Structure 1
Amino acid sequence: MSLEAIDWAQPWLAPYRVIGEAAAHTALCTSVAAALEQGAKPASAPTFVPQLDLPAGRAYEAHIFQTGTVPTRDNLHDFFNGLVWLAFPETKRRLNELQASEIARNGVTSTRGPVRDALTLFDENGALLDAPAALWEALVARDWHTLFVTQRALWSEARLIVFGHALLEKLTTPRKAITAHVLLPAPPSPNGGGPEALDDRVLARRLDAQYLAQKPFVPLPVLGVPGWCADNATADFYDDPKVFRPGP
């Protein structure tokens, strides 16, 4: 799919639409890196540069940490990565710092290790949730009927943000099985952290290697979220154990 074909009306793109729609239009006549540079940028955002600026043999995350620049290809994956950098610059910078620290400590090996695995999972496929306690409890228990049917009205009080750029890319072609890894708040709190769970600076301060190494994520099939897929308006949408798998 091309940038031109992105459906900006989809609810998961709402946090990125203002900057993203304009950048996608600009990228039609220039590079993705240049398009991301032309819009309004937070002061803490990095500089987006062509992929050719990444020296051969240098680790991508280490390069970003050392130079403050993000090598960017002309594709959907890197376009969405850039949008998340612009929307959550402090959190993305913190993830990069942790990646670079692990690389400096252990080098680049065939296996990333638990910290880098968790960092990559969140960066690529993560999501953030602010929701009432009843929804959090059902989500953690993987009690899908309670989460999406019994307590459906509570979703009007919830907000889900897709953070992972690979997940945003997958959602350009929505499929029922697409699943996010929702970050559990640290430390756990009865209301899932409240609105601050979605705050860039607060989130960046809370991320640390020790917590992430525990893989503090819970799966969420995102097209089950009310309003995110027309088909989920009927309860039998959730009667699919291949997607809505029971808890452990």
Structure 2
Amino acid sequence: MPAIDWTPAWNAPWRTPGEAVAAAVATGEPLHEALNRAGPAPVRFVPQDALPAGTAYEQFIFSTGRCPVRPGLHDFFNGLAWLRFPRAKAALNRLQAQEIARSGVGARRGPVRDAITVFDENGALLSAPPPLWDALCARQWRRLFVDLRPLWAQARLVVFGHALLEQLAVAPRKPLTAHVWREEAALDSVATADAWLAGRCTEEALAGKPFTPLPVLGVPGWWGANENFSFYDDSLVFRPRRTQNP
């Protein structure tokens, strides 16, 4: 597993217990064992080969309370999510299992499982003043990141999705985008954020895909290049909201 730089802002909520798990893996300890020693979780981490052939991953976790783990950063960050957001991860897994029990595992996941996958892999939570929220939901990028830049000192963004955390660790780049829940999160602590998110993980909420895109490296303080405001002139990344045809 590659070394992780824990200094960027996006890694702050994950540094504990992430550093301890990474250090254990660096000594040769299997990832699943290092995760199990890192703290309590609603699942027991097991090697990937514990997942029986033909069994859906999400259903296996729900039915057995065991989470298969492969070596590498992807499952490393997924394991950290189980440790730091136990209630939210359990709620998302329960919904996944319910949808699988109802509809089976097919080529199409359906709207609820699609939304769960999007958020579990690339989701984020945001606490911010109302003007920032208004600009974000309207995708008014220059207003969000330049005109209202001082307000970001009052904001807090937590990346939840383990795939996005992996990409930020391996190759941070401008197009990396989080799917932010379109409602201000309670982020005064990780435990509060976990409870807030778990309470919103319902079929009805997720079926509506309550997310809005946020190119995370545009956030002030997250990437040195955005100090030059030409950073935001890239229309392939900072795209305007689509207008409805009359």
TM-score range, shorter chain: over 0.9
Deviation track 1:168-190 (CA, whole Å, cap 9, x = no partner) reads: 011011011111110112xxxxx
Question: TM-score, structure 2 length as denominator?
Answer: 0.94
**Distance of 1:222 and 1:193 partners within structure 2:** 16
Structure 2 residue runs of 5 or longer lacking an equivalent are none
Could you tell me which of 65, 69, 74 is aligned with 2:66? 69
The within-5 A match list for 1:206-217 is 206-217=200-211
1:127 offset after TM fit, Å? 0.5
Matched, 1:119 2:116: yes
Query: Pick from 199, 202, 224: which aligns with 2:218?
Result: 224
RMSD: 1.3
Residue 18 of structure 2 is matched in structure 1 by 20
CA contact (8 A) 1:131 1:194 kept: no
Which of 79, 98, 101 is residue 101 of structure 1 equivalent to? Answer: 98
User: After superposition, where does 1:1-248 map in structure 2 within 5 Å?
Assistant: 2-3=1-2, 5-28=3-26, 29-41=28-40, 44-172=41-169, 173-185=171-183, 192-195=184-187, 199-248=193-242
Q: For residue 189 of structure 1, what is the aligned residue in structure 2?
A: none
Partners of 2:196 and 2:146 in 1: CA distance: 31
Tell me: CA distance 1:108–1:193, structure 2 relative to 1, closer, same or farther (3 Å): same
When structure 1 is superposed on structure 2, of 196-205 and 228-237 the one drifting more is: 196-205
Tell me, what secondary structure is at the counterpart of 1:9? coil
Indicate if the aligned counterparts of 2:77 and 2:165 stay in contact, CA closer than 8 A: yes
**Secondary structure at 1:16's aligned position in 2?**
helix
- The residue type paired with residue 29 of structure 2 is T
**Which amino acid in 1 is paired with 2:222?**
W
TM-score by length of 1: 0.93
Instruction: Give ranges in structure 1 of 5+ residues lacking alignment.
Output: 186-191
C-alpha contact 2:74 2:162 (8 A) present in aligned 1: yes
Q: How many positions carry a matched residue from both structures?
A: 238
Contact in 1 for aligned 2:125/2:185 (Cα 8 Å): no
| 1:194 Cα deviation after fit | 4.6
Given the superposition, is the C-alpha separation of residues 71 and 194 from structure 1 closer, same or farther in structure 2, using an over 3 Å criterion?
closer
